[in-house]
Amino acid sequence: MRQNSNIPKERGLDNTLNILKEGYLFIPNRMNLFNSHIFKTRIMGQKAICITGKEASKIFYNPDLFQRKGVAPKRIQKTLFGVNAIQGKDGLAHIKRKSLFMNILSQKEEEKIGRLVKEELIKSIDKWEHMGEVVLFREISEIICYVVCNWVGICITREEAKTRANDFLRMIYSFASVGPKYEKGKKARKSTERWIENIVEDVRNNKIKVGENSPLYKITFYKDTDNKLLDSKMVAIEVINTIRPIVAVSTYVVFAALALHTNPHCKEKLIKNEDNYYEIFVQEVRRFYPFTPFVVAKVKQNFLWNRYEFKKGDLVILDVYGINHDPQIWNEPEKFDPERFKNKEQDLFDFIPQGGGNPAITHRCPGEGVTIKITEVVLDFLLNNIDYHVKEQDLSYPLDKIPTLPRSGFIMSNIKRKK
Ligand code: HEM
């Protein structure tokens, strides 16, 4: 058979609108239809190759085969990532910048953030007891924002954390939108960049003192591959690349609360914490619930995979959501079952809710540890520190909306401190 002739191809001049319509299921729907691990389509006016499965993940995270420069559309850079930030770097420039993030997000710092979030949660109980109803998504995003800004080295009050959290959430929840919602995301990024840029300049001019171990200090005085400091705007962008995704953990926290609510049989196991149950429960939350739909890269050099010749410059989309629900990897993938992680060997390519490969070398997320830590801490709090009621509410999360979230944000009422 001739190369490339056996690859399913989606009809239509451009299928960008179908992504918006089908969201997380855009790639899985077509993989099922074509019974394939690969198909060709057209997205944003160009040819794109969608791939899925563990083997696809292995090639996608081979830095010799793929690059990120020039991949993220400007509309995503102007809301979610920031222009010219780490996500679009390759080779040495990427590895050097990545080492900065790996250093900032050490295990010790993950533990520290977890402790600080727990302390703030405990302090919130009195207020929550008097609130009647608490929307978990809102409250936890403000708590995380307060904790993380101060941990980074930017002092803010609990009151200010409310508006700042809102801006970080706008950057996260607007990038795939159009119209006013997208414009709000862009505005939120602009004003947050300006705010942090001014702080960075004050740190450089010695008007503000920050600890040498703080992420703000480390990023402000980090030297790039040219041995020069980053300009203050780029520092602000990478500081936002540290704070914003930690605020985004609020989404997994809400999914974890939902998982606890819909799987009450897990409560006893969590309380006993046998077999590291907190950890396996959170891993299952990251597998089962949708967050990252897919990741995108460009072919760096021609290569052959699955009888298909990938050509330099081709756009390739890896199906993260589909791989989390791939029946060839997961037994009964549509069942929420933390125990599946009990004896699972670590694999860098088959469980990739936050990207794959070795995070020091590939674009895999450096924040998995802190994501797991914060989610575990909040679960522990919900189980052991308070009693609460979950009234009838719309807990559905639309799969055609990227990123998604339970519609109600998880409303808790009648909150009481556990004696
Ligand atoms: C909230 C849950 C999170 C999800 C779903 C998530 C997901 C991801 C994904 C899919 C990638 C890109 C992988 C790729 O391009 O191949 C990524 C990269 C990244 N994430 Fe996360 N992440 C989360 C939390 C965090 C946290 C807590 C941090 C902490 C600072 C973080 C910082 C980053 C950074 C800096 C990158 C860029 C890495 C690079 O380009 O090398 N993320 N994340």
Asked if residue 367 has its Cβ within 6 Å of ligand 1, the reply is yes
What is the Cα–Cα distance from 53 to 67, expressed in whole angstroms?
Answer: 20
Q: Nearest to residue 223, comparing CAs of 100, 39, 128, 47?
A: 100
Q: Nearest to residue 35, comparing CAs of 47, 22, 52?
A: 52
The two beta strands, 411-417 and 295-299, are unpaired
pTM: 0.97
Angle at CA 101, nearest 5°, toward 58 and 363?
A: 20
Asked whether the beta carbons of 110 and 129 are under 8 A apart, the reply is no
Above pLDDT 70, what percent of the chain? 99
- Hey, how many other C-beta atoms are within 10 angstroms of the C-beta on 416? 12
Tokens, residue 403: 């990123």
pLDDT at 4 over 80: no
| DSSP percent split of the chain into helix, strand, coil, nearest 5 | 55, 10, 35
Helix (H/G/I), strand (E/B), else coil: 416 = strand
Asked if residue 232 has its Cβ within 6 Å of ligand 1, the reply is no
Q: Nearest to residue 248, comparing CAs of 150, 158, 148, 155?
A: 148
pLDDT at 175: 85
pLDDT at 302 over 60: yes
**CA 359 to ligand 1: nearest atom:** 41
Tokens, residue 292: 């990252």
pLDDT at 2 over 60: no
Instruction: Measure 51 CA to ligand 1 centroid, in angstroms.
Output: 20
Q: Nearest to residue 68, comparing CAs of 367, 404, 355, 369?
A: 355
Distance, C-alpha 272 to centroid of its chain: 29
Q: Whose CA is nearest to atom 36 of ligand 1?
A: 365
Asked if residue 292 has its Cβ within 6 Å of ligand 1, the reply is yes
pLDDT at 5: 60
Q: Whose CA is nearest to atom 20 of ligand 1?
A: 365
Identity of the residue numbered 223: K
User: pLDDT by residue (tens digit) across 30-84?
Assistant: 999 999 999 999 998 899 999 999 999 999 999 999 999 999 988 899 888 999 9
The average pLDDT across 168-183 equals: 91
Q: Nearest to residue 174, comparing CAs of 419, 402, 414?
A: 402
pLDDT at 11: 85
Tokens, residue 303: 């290569």
